[in-house]
Amino acid sequence: MKSISAAVLFFCIAFRIDAQPVKMHGQLKVQGTQLTDQNNQPLVLNGMSFGWSCFHPRFYTAAATKWLHKDWKCNVVRAALGVEPDRGYLQDSAGNMKRIKTVIDAAIEEGIYVIVDWHSHNINLNEAKGFFREIATAYGNHPNIIYEIFNEPDYETWPEVKKYSTEVIATIRAIDPNNIILVGSPHWDQDIMLPAADPITGFNNLMYTVHFYAATHKQFLRDRTDAAIAKGLPVFISESAGMQASGNGAIDYPEWNKWISWMEDKKLSWITWSVSDKDETCSVLNITASDYGGWKKEDLKESGTKTREILRNKAAKNK
């Protein structure tokens, strides 16, 4: 009886750790160009980004976050704080902060990682510093947290983005010395060669983001990213999908599969856009989808069906 009880206990503990990635992998860090876990082992994070918090607030629920972990097998989710648009953070800081914190709290409870994304295309330095100061103060002691400090700079130069990023990073590091910080690059995270030539120095655990939409961004962007990594730049794919960069158009499956294989080979983490029900190809849900997860086959759009399949297959393979 004792041996059986011990075996059952061991199985339950092992299952619990496996079910909660943060329990298994703990505090993340960057070694060279690779994201690694607390045991210095390479780690690849794969998951979903929620849509803009100001446009698709109904999915910012604890239940939806848990469903993405339990059913879609995400080991990371991304909470996208809409900053500038109507009903965004600049107009309604309390409402948007509540949505972001709901997802963060649920991710911590589920034991998965969570990217806190300042989802803006422009520099709002003081507002960004205030937001990340609050997030770092509330959650910086949790290894679940990843800060994405500038979603997609559009027309800003790299010196402008670098100056902004350095100030925001310093604000976070004054409170949270360890958790990963993701830095954007100009031209909607396409010009990764610019930070590769002139990276931010003086801080640890920084990674730089590349975004792709497979029907638009093809081999040229993979080659550009390969060159940046070869120069020593750590890269994280914090937004991606299979259609055109507009978010619409047909899914380019051959090119999307090339991206998936390439990221797998490079051990690059990636996030798919987005958990929303907008009438566009890149929104993974139909309007029939519940606010609280439990989504059935008919609730998923084509991109949702494909992304869920990829995530579940990767999770099964990594067991």
Inter-CA distances, 36 with 33, 143, 154, 179, 186, Å: 9, 13, 30, 12, 26
Q: Are 243 and 249 in contact (CB under 8 A)?
A: yes
Q: Are 81 and 116 in contact (CB under 8 A)?
A: yes
Percent of all residues in the chain with a pLDDT value above 70, rounded to a whole number: 94
- Rounded distance between C-alpha atoms, residue 131 and residue 150, angstroms: 12
In the prediction, which pLDDT does 120 show?
97
219-264 pLDDT, tens digit each: 999 999 999 999 999 999 999 999 999 999 999 999 999 999 999 9
Q: How confident is the model at residue 117 (pLDDT cuts 50, 70, 90)?
A: very high
- Rounded distance between C-alpha atoms, residue 47 and residue 25, angstroms: 16
Residue with tokens 């830095």: 183
Answer whether residue 171 shows pLDDT above 80: yes
Give CATH superfamily name and number for 31-317.
Glycosidases (3.20.20.80)
In the prediction, which pLDDT does 11 show?
39
Answer whether residue 295 shows pLDDT above 70: yes
Active-site amino acid positions: 152, 239
In the prediction, which pLDDT does 15 show?
42
Average pLDDT over residues 186-199: 98
For residue 182, report the phi and psi dihedrals to the nearest 5 degrees: -100, 130
Answer whether residue 10 shows pLDDT above 90: no
Using a 10 angstrom Cβ sphere, with 0-12 exposed, 13-18 middle and 19 or more buried, the burial of residue 319 is exposed
Residues β-bridged to residue 114: 77, 145
Q: What is the mean pLDDT of the chain?
A: 95
Q: How confident is the model at residue 19 (pLDDT cuts 50, 70, 90)?
A: confident
What is the CA 281 to chain-centroid distance, rounded?
19
Eight-state DSSP code of residue 300: B
Answer whether residue 8 shows pLDDT above 50: no
- Rounded distance between C-alpha atoms, residue 93 and residue 90, angstroms: 6
Burial 129-143 (b: 16+ CB within 10 A, else e): bebbbebbeebbebb
Average pLDDT over residues 117-134: 98
Answer whether residue 17 shows pLDDT above 50: no
Q: How confident is the model at residue 204 (pLDDT cuts 50, 70, 90)?
A: very high
Q: How confident is the model at residue 6 (pLDDT cuts 50, 70, 90)?
A: very low
pTM to 2 decimal places: 0.94
Q: How confident is the model at residue 318 (pLDDT cuts 50, 70, 90)?
A: confident
Domain ranges of the chain: 31-317
Q: How confident is the model at residue 58 (pLDDT cuts 50, 70, 90)?
A: very high
Answer whether residue 73 shows pLDDT above 90: yes
Q: Are 241 and 215 in contact (CB under 8 A)?
A: no
